Amino acid sequence: AQRVTQPEKLLSVFKGAPVELKCNYSYSGSPELFWYVQYSRQRLQLLLRHISRESIKGFTADLNKGETSFHLKKPFAQEEDSAMYYCALSGLETSGSRLTFGEGTQLTVNP
Amino acid sequence: KAGVTQTPRYLIKTRGQQVTLSCSPISGHRSVSWYQQTPGQGLQFLFEYFSETQRNKGNFPGRFSGRQFSNSRSEMNVSTLELGDSALYLCASSLGAWSSYNSPLHFGNGTRLTVT
């Protein structure tokens, strides 16, 4: 069975402060990890994936297989980063369309 | 390029009825998957269709079914509706490669189903 845990339902930071959204997973096979974001009144969209090793909108995430974590980080939060963030996992043994999502973290960046 | 389109946006049904939701994928995408989103359970995978065949199925009862047409459009059907079926139903399309690395999901805005 696969499971994704996002321990914080709500996270509030001030503009310019660092932000870290936590994600832990449980999966016995080879995982693919993703972060999806949903801005207010917009559709769910892919933010980044671990295989790409890229920074999107200043966000980065490193897959730590030892700690089974895939935390999302940004050194200086912006107000436009306020959104709902979902960590998601799929296994190489199953189709990439079958994602297991965490409960989500609502990030609020205050001015 | 037009995004994933789901119709209708809102639906109100009564218990015992059945409902059909529609999804038009991005042009060229051959895979369509469906997710149920509720406050209590979050986002849960229902099933995926690829080239008109169900490729993957989540842990939902048989009342939930779907199909895909030759033009990749997909429909999802829920029979004998229960109050607990009230949710946002999201459709997502992708090129259809087995791995998401090469074929990320693109989501629609969803259909909000309310069962009374």
pLDDT in tens, A69-83: 999 999 999 999 999
Query: How far apart are the CA of A29 and the nearest CA of chain B, in angstroms?
Result: 14
Question: At residue B47, does pLDDT exceed 80?
Answer: yes
Q: In DSSP terms, which residues pair with B36 in a beta bridge?
A: B44, B89
Domain count, chain A: 1
> Cα–Cα distance between B99 and B39 in angstroms, integer?
29
Q: Domain containing A88 — which CATH number?
A: 2.60.40.10
Interface list for chain B against chain A, based on CB atoms closer than 8 Å: 3-4, 31, 33, 35, 42-45, 48, 50, 55-56, 58, 90, 92, 94, 97-101, 103-110
Domain of A73 in residue numbering reads as: 3-110
Q: A29-33, A74-78, B102-106: which has the minimum mean pLDDT? A: B102-106
User: CB neighbours (10 Å) of residue A35?
Assistant: 23
Give CA angle at B41 (B37, B47), nearest 5°: 55
Distance of CA A99 to the CA centre of its chain: 13
Q: Higher confidence at residue A38 or residue A53?
A: A38
DSSP state of B100: T
Contact B33 A46 (CB under 8 A): no
Cis peptide before B8 (omega within 30 of 0): yes
Question: At residue B39, does pLDDT exceed 60?
Answer: yes
Instruction: Please tell me whether residue B83 adopts helix, strand or coil conformation.
Output: helix
Residue pair B26/B1 in contact (Cβ under 8 Å)? The answer is yes
Q: Higher confidence at residue A87 or residue B98?
A: A87
Mean pLDDT of chain B: 93
Question: At residue B72, does pLDDT exceed 70?
Answer: yes
Q: Higher confidence at residue B100 or residue A54?
A: A54
